[in-house]
Structure 1
Amino acid sequence: MLQQFAAEWWRRISEGFTRGEPLETGILELALILVVALVLSVPRGSWRYFGLFVTAVHELGHAFAALTTGRLVRGIHLRFDQSGAMISRGAGRASAAWAGFWGYPVPALVGAVLVWAAFTGWSGAALSVSALLLLATLLFIRNLEGIVIAVGLAVASQLLVWFAPAEFLGHLTLAIGVALLVGAVRDWLNLLSVHTRRRHQLANSDAFIIAKRTGIPAAFWLAGFALVILACWAGAVATVAGVGDLMNL
């Protein structure tokens, strides 16, 4: 029974890597998705839960960046208050700064990629990769709250792969992508408020930590995060605009 389940699960994951039909949508759906994304990210009540997803992507960004420099990822901590930490070990300030930088921009980067995938027929692949990555995250979680969060996200991603109808994959991928783009802005604004109004929390700021390690002011890193997030938004808007131009031909 378990073997059959695993085989069926892998079949559905594998099927996602087949290119499907590019998403065709209109202004009304785009506007509705944006409104839903804002509802998830702006009110404190909904952000309390959706922010956990953004934080998980944030910490995965740190982990992946650390691995690209040869650092050893020792674990990831996620907490219900949306804080988190990625613990890695390696030599060199440059590698530590690189790993530290790719936290806040990564939800926006993933969001832009998902928007692109939706409009190019690769929604299934994007969701399959996401499901595998969220499942693999369980290997690195080192605290109980993190296990609860990671298991919830992993289960949700597997259910999407298993039950989402093929004709809705593009719409789902687009919605998740836009939500992450909006969530990245919300997360950055939270960080900015730490540096302007809640300075007693500076010790937990990525920008502050990188500044201490490199001697480069935190303002530089805050601006760097913002520039990457803006570039991701520009890329996503360009994707949507390009599709709109093609549909008008």
Structure 2
Amino acid sequence: MSIDSLTDLWHELFGAQPDPPPLLVLVTGLVALAVVATRLPWRIGRNAVTIAHEGGHALVALLTGRRLRGIRLHSDTSGLTLSAGRPSGPGMVFTLLAGYVAPSLIGLAGAWLLGGNRITLLLWVAVALLLGMLVMIRNLFGVVSVLVTGGVVFAVSWYASPQVQAAFAYTGVWFLLLGGVRPVGELQSQRRRGQAPQSDADQLAWLTPLPGIFWVSVFGLVAVAALVVGAGLLAGPILADWGITTAIGGAG
């Protein structure tokens, strides 16, 4: 690859794209909200939230020195991440804590990149993360799910027009921000009915002096805070169009 080609690739990845039309930001947010709020689209889209959830467990397990054994994704949108190490202690606590907050925090990071108009960079980072996760998947449905998700993101980043890339990126980030909230409510609903005795919140309750409802509340607060801050970042073009400025900065 020539130096000119590398320079072009660098500018494409790290250069800022033009501000999206305010209408695009609004419409993509409404589309993501409709997916999260309706049964069948949510049932399909929730697989992406599960990928982020299990990816959060896996990443924090590695960062805390645990040995990652594998990740399984299931067709009912559940998942399982297996790691080896001490069965208690901070590493295990942070690993369990990471799952439910991961979709929201990933969405917030994506909103920060979009706030700086780094649309192509966001899509390529997503592809890289999915490829990194793929090597740890240990079941067929999980492999297919990650490959399809990564393939769609790559195809959009490589072949689609800038307008389509922007619409796809904004919809995806809105979806993670909004979709990070709903599973927390579903978790507590299952806990009330006694259907989730092995949930992350209940395992955290066994490892700490704090009850499961405390950890569910932590999941919910992080998800709502990420949604509020992320929405402020994404709504920058709309606010600017209305002559309103925001103190929340983007990626440059």
TM-score under structure 2 normalisation?
A: 0.85
Q: Corresponding residue for 1:219?
A: 213
Between the two proteins, what is the percent identity of the paired residues? 30
Unpaired runs of 5+ in structure 2?
Answer: 245-252
| Cα gap change, 1:182 to 1:12, in 2 (>3 Å) | farther
Q: Aligned-residue CA RMSD in angstroms?
A: 2.3
Deviation at 1:51, TM superposition (A): 0.5
Seen in structure 2, the aligned counterparts of structure 1 residues 38 and 240 have a Cα distance that, compared at 3 Å, is: closer
The 1:14/1:82 distance shift into structure 2, 3 A limit, reads farther
- 1:78 deviation in Å? 0.4
- Could you tell me which runs of 5 or more consecutive residues in structure 1 were left unpaired when the two chains were aligned: 5-9
Q: 3-state DSSP class of the match of 2:83?
A: strand
Does 2:64 match 1:69?
yes
Distance in 1 of aligned mates of 2:72 and 2:9: 27
Counterpart in the other structure of 1:43: 38
CA distance in 1, matches of 2:173, 2:130: 16
Letter in 1 for 2:103: P
Alignment check: 8 A CA contact 1:23 1:118 kept: no
Structure 1 residue 223: Cα displacement: 1.0
1:152-208 CA distances to partner (integer Å, 9 max, x unpaired)?
Answer: 112212212221223443332211100111111111111121122x313322x1101
* 1:178 counterpart residue number: 174
Q: Which residue of 2 aligns with 1:7?
A: none
Secondary structure in structure 2 of the residue aligned to 1:201? coil
| Contact 1:101-1:210 within 8 A present in 2 as well | yes
Question: Contact conserved, 1:131 with 1:161, CA < 8 A, in 2?
Answer: no
Structure 1 residue 148: Cα displacement: 1.9
Q: Higher helix proportion, which one?
A: 1
- 2:110 partner letter: L
Please state whether the residue corresponding to 2:146 is helix, strand or coil.
helix
* Partner SS state of residue 82, structure 1: coil
Q: Which residue of 1 aligns with 2:190?
A: 194
SS at structure 2 position matched to 1:75: strand
Instruction: Give how far 1:229 is off.
Output: 0.9
**Contact kept? 1:12, 1:161, Cα under 8 Å:** no
After TM superposition, where is structure 1 displaced by more than 4 Å over at least 4 residues in a row? Answer: 10-16, 241-247
User: How far does the alpha carbon of each residue in 1:20-43 deviate from its partner, in whole angstroms, 9 at most, with x for none?
Assistant: 2243332x4333222211221222
Instruction: Indicate yes or no: 2:27 matched with 1:29.
Output: no
TM-score by length of 1: 0.86
Provide, for residues 205-232 of structure 1, a one-character-per-residue CA deviation record: whole Å limited to 9, x for no partner: 1101111122321111111111111221
2:201 is aligned with 1:207:
yes
Per-residue displacement from partner, 1:70-109 (whole Å, max 9, x unpaired)? 1111110100101101111123421101011011111111
